[in-house]
Amino acid sequence: MLLKECESKAEMLKNYKLLLEVYPKLTLEEYSQELDFMLQNNYGQVGVYLNDECIGLSGYWIGSKLWCGRYLEADNVVIAEAHRSKGIGNLIFDYLKQKAQKEKCSMVSLDSYTTNFKAHKFFYNEGFEPRGFHFINILDKSKIR
């Protein structure tokens, strides 16, 4: 297995197939358009590859908030179903924590669906703790994947 930072939109587009495990209705065109916007806003992506196939992936954002200063937010953590529970998530989060320290971030954060109990157990084991609620008010249901 090889963990590497995706350094271009072209590299990120190659990871599209893995994202379909979480977002089966996401088109390649939509993914490309989202990346165009996200890459302008401190978005990055790290992947774990086996024989040039992406089997684990996390996007991340580096931002700043008044209450914590600089932070790194993990975004869309996906491990291929056939490769779960093999340490791939640990590799990704070890990398993200090191990246956050290098970027002088005070913390690493993430959102997780309330029903994703298996992921919650993993996040607890990685040292994450729930600190609040992430409230949403959906304005256009047709755009939610």
pLDDT at 7: 94
pLDDT of 75-88, one tens digit each? 999 999 999 999 99
pLDDT of 1-44, one tens digit each? 999 999 999 999 999 999 999 999 999 999 999 999 999 999 99
Is the pLDDT at 97 greater than 90? The verdict is: yes
For 85-89, which contacts have Cβ atoms below 8 Å and span 24 or more sequence positions? 88/1, 88/48, 88/55, 88/56, 89/56, 89/122, 89/126
CB 13, CB 28: distance < 8 Å: yes
Residue boundaries of the structural domains of the chain = 2-143
The CATH architecture to which 2-143 belongs is 3-Layer(aba) Sandwich (3.40)
DSSP string, 24-44: TT--HHHHHHHHHHHGGGTEE
Q: Please enumerate in sequence order all residues whose Cβ is within 8 A of that of 129, keeping only pairs 6 or more positions apart, or say none.
A: none
Residue type, 59: G
